[in-house]
Amino acid sequence: MKNVLIVLTAIALFGLIACEGPAGPAGKDGAAGVAGKDAGFVYFDGFKADLKCSSCHNADTDTVNNVAARSIQWANSLHGSGTASEENRVSCVECHSTEGFIMKAKNITIASDIVNVTPPNCFACHSPHAKGDFSLRTTASVSLTSNITGVNASTFNVGNGNLCVACHRPRPITTSTTTMLPDPTKTAMTDTLKVGSSRWYGHYGVQGQILTGAGAFQFQGTTAYGTTSQHSTMAPISTNGCITCHMADFTPANAYGNKIGGHTMAISYIPEGSTTAVEMLNGCKTCHSSITKLDYNSKVTTFKANLDTLKKILIAKNWIDTLDAIKATSSAPLKIVPASRGGALFNYMMLVHDGSHGVHNPTYANDVVRASIAELRK
């Protein structure tokens, strides 16, 4: 009986198959699936043709490229250990995360905040899987926003340093009914500048402007600032940019080798238990063979003294506090008359946020701070 059932079932199935008619019209397309990581988002750069993992991921190549050492240095850097990746908002993430930076470099629109971001790391600056090497992801020139009325944006084009300045550049000041931009032409006592924000400055990324001598407020009737700096025009900096000084290898290699120089980007380091900073001068010696300290020819000392004088004047005017915060809010804006004098406050915030104590461009930085002091002493 069991065998008979098997035979009958087989005959029935054969009949169904044999009687199958032509295929009907195709149905509607289903809903789109989830896009792959190489279909628009950034975690996957793709692989260069014929690239094999073992081409790089082996002990010999790691030793040549110092990948392990570089990653340790990076972990000690502010890029790796700082607060950068806390800012994952859509307006900040292009510079404060690896994901956002890659999207910006690929001209992918960042439409929303990015969650689970990583700090700017190896893959922000490099694309080794797609390129097959550790060349920089981009070295395109960078437009530097001007936050001064009547002054055009400038261009930064200093070789490999362009990648650094893709983020170390100013951001626009948000204007409103209570917040205005500084204006060199508003010199009358009837002209009032309103500052309605404690963040009335071009953010912290002004290094590109200082290096190329741009972005500071120029008071009418004053001598033009000395703009040209050999720190952006002289070889090899004109080719390697910021890398020349900030990423030179510290020697002797067995002393603080992963705490200063290289991918730490640090120029100085205070060893544990010490109060004296170790300075990384190898990059500087490319041009200044006799240099023994960052305060070369006392230019840092001179700048700090000038900036401290300007700070005391601003504090006395009640424009800033001792922590360099502008004393202004949208509900209680700071009002400066004549408006053009607000340029001194603008310049002070720019020089403070540069962070180099004038080293990036000593002539320009000192000219700017001196002119600002003179304006407020009128």
Q: What is the helix (H) or strand (E) element at residue 373, kind and residue range?
A: helix 362-376
In a domain, 257, yes or no: no
325 or 23, higher pLDDT:
325
- What domain count does the chain have? 2
Q: Which residues contact 356 (CB under 8 A, 6 or more apart)?
A: 207, 210, 365
- Per residue in 156-200, pLDDT tens? 999 999 999 999 999 999 999 999 999 999 999 999 999 999 999
What span, in angstroms and rounded, lies between the C-alpha atoms of 313 and 333? 19
223 & 111 share domain:
no
Look at residues 344, 349, 303, 305 and name the one whose alpha carbon lies nearest to residue 323. Answer: 349
Structure-block tokens of residue 293: 């300290």
Please give the residue range of the domain that contains residue 127. Answer: 53-131
The pLDDT, as a whole number, for residue 8 is: 47
Among residues 131, 158, 185, the one where a domain terminates is: 131
Domain end, chosen from 85, 111, 131, is at: 131
Q: Which of 174-188, 233-247, 330-344 is predicted least confidently?
A: 233-247
Instruction: State whether 191 and 122 are in the same domain.
Output: no
Q: What is the mean pLDDT of residues 335-357?
A: 97
Query: Does residue 183 share a domain with residue 307?
Result: yes
Cis check: omega of the bond before 271, within 30 degrees of 0? no
pTM, rounded to two decimals: 0.86
Q: Same structural domain for residues 118 and 175? A: no
| Structural domain contains residue 319 | yes
pLDDT digits (tens, 9 = 90+) for 134-163: 999 999 999 999 999 999 999 999 999 999
**Does 245 have pLDDT greater than 80?**
yes
